Amino acid sequence: MGTTSYPETLTDILASMGAAGRRLNSIDAIEAGAGNLSVIAREPLELGEFFDAERPLELPLAVPHLAGYTVLVTGSGCRLREVGDQPAHNVGAVVVHEGGRAGTLHYRAGGNFVRPTSEFNSHLGVHDDQVARRGVAFQAVIHAQPPHLTLLSHLPEFQGTAELNRAILRWEPETIVQLPEGVKFLPFMVPGSDELMASNVAGLRDHQVVLWAKHGVMARSDVSPLGACDKIEYAETGALYEYKNLATGGRAQGLSDEELHRVVEAFHVPTTLF
Ligand code: 13P
C-alpha cells in the first residue's frame, strides 16, 4: 500500500481508467468512440509490463512542467468502455522529455491504439497548467458527452455559466457541496482546436468541470479517474432533473436559493453561488 491517496502503480492506474470508462458508459456519456481520458503520474511507471512497442512523439504543444511525467492517454477512436477489459490495447503512455516538446510513446503493437486522442492538446494543456500552479504529482482529465448536460447547452436560456448553474445545482443538496464552484460554460468551439484547449486550461483553473456547448464536458481530479467521473455524474444528474422538469411542464419546485444557502452554511461550502 502506498501512502498517497491516488493510484500509484501502472496496474492500479489502468484499473481506475477502466472503471471510469465503465461508469461513463453506464450513464451513456461515451457512445462508441466518444470521450477520452488521460492521467499524469510524476513517479516513473513499469511500462514494460503492459506495452511492447515505442516510438518518438511530437507533442501538440510545449508542456515543460510535464518533463519526466508519464501521460497515460486513450487512443483516438478507442472505445472508453473497452479500457477496463483491454487497457493496454486502448491506452498509450507518453514519457515527456526535457523541455516538454516531445516524448516517447509506449503502446501495445497490434492493439487499438494508433495515436493519442484528438483532444490531446486540451488534456496536456490542463495537466501542464495544474502542475505549474499546484505541483500535482497525479491528475486525471476526462472528456465525456453526458446527454442531458449537452442537450441543455443547445438551449439558449442555459448558455451562460450563471444560467447553467442556476438550473443544475437546484435539484439535490449534495450538488453544491460536490461542485462548490459550479460548472463553467464554454461557448461552442471546434473540437481539438487551440481555442478550445486554451479555454479548458483557463476554465479548469477554478472549476472541476467545464461544459463545452453543443459537445460535452471536460473534468479534472487529482484523486482518480473515478473522482473526475463523480463530478461529471453530479452535474449530469442536475441536468437530468432540469430536462425532466422542462419536459413535464416545469412544475417541480427545486431547492430555493434560501434552502441552498442553508446547505452551504451547514456544510461550510466554500462557494459564492448561494
Ligand atoms: P477521440 O476518439 O479522438 O478521442 O475523439 C473523441 C471525442 O469525443 C472528440 O471530442
Q: Per-residue pLDDT tens for 49-90? A: 999 999 999 999 999 999 999 999 999 999 999 999 999 999
Check if 200 has its Cβ closer than 6 Å to any atom of ligand 1: no
Check if 11 has its Cβ closer than 6 Å to any atom of ligand 1: no
**Separation of CA 64 from chain center:** 21
Each residue's pLDDT tens digit, 7-19: 999 999 999 999 9
Look up the CATH number of domain 10-266.
3.40.225.10
Mean pLDDT of 191-220: 98
Each residue's pLDDT tens digit, 121-146: 999 999 999 999 999 999 999 999 99
Using CA atoms, how far apart are residues 120 and 37, in angstroms rounded to an integer? 9
Check if 147 has its Cβ closer than 6 Å to any atom of ligand 1: no
Ligand 1 mutation target, pool 73, 112, 117, 120, most atoms within 8 A of CB: 117
Each residue's pLDDT tens digit, 25-34: 999 999 999 9
Q: Give the model's confidence band at 2: pLDDT under 50 very low, under 70 low, under 90 confident, else very high.
A: very low
pLDDT at 1: 40
Task: Look up the pTM and report it.
Answer: 0.97
Answer whether residue 150 shows pLDDT above 90. Answer: yes
Using CA atoms, how far apart are residues 20 and 9, in angstroms rounded to an integer? 17
Answer whether residue 252 shows pLDDT above 60. Answer: yes
Q: How far is CA 68 from CA 98, 103, 137, 154, 186, in A?
A: 7, 9, 11, 41, 31
Answer whether residue 3 shows pLDDT above 70. Answer: no
C-alpha cell at 151: 442537450
Judge contact between 186 and 143, C-beta under 8 A: no
Check if 31 has its Cβ closer than 6 Å to any atom of ligand 1: no
pLDDT at 5: 80
Judge contact between 75 and 91, C-beta under 8 A: yes
| Percent of the chain with pLDDT strictly greater than 70 | 99
Neighbours of 145 (CB within 10 A): 17
Which atom of ligand 1 lies closest to the CA of 143?
8
Judge contact between 92 and 106, C-beta under 8 A: yes
For 195-209, give the DSSP string.
HHHHHHHHHHHH-SE
Distance, CA 122 to ligand 1 centroid (Å)? 11
Sheet holding 184-186, edge to edge: 53-58, 102-107, 91-96, 70-74, 36-41, 138-144, 216-221, 209-212, 184-186
Hey, CA dihedral for 91, 47, 128, 179, is it positive or negative? Answer: positive
Q: What is the largest CA-CA distance in the chain?
A: 58
Residues 6+ apart with CB under 8 A from 225: 16, 17, 19, 20, 37, 39, 140, 142
Check if 118 has its Cβ closer than 6 Å to any atom of ligand 1: yes
- Domain spans, the chain: 10-266
In the chain, alpha helices (H)? 10-26, 87-90, 120-134, 147-152, 161-168, 173-178, 194-206, 225-247, 257-266
- Residue 197 exposed, middle or buried by CB count within 10 Å (0-12, 13-18, 19+): buried
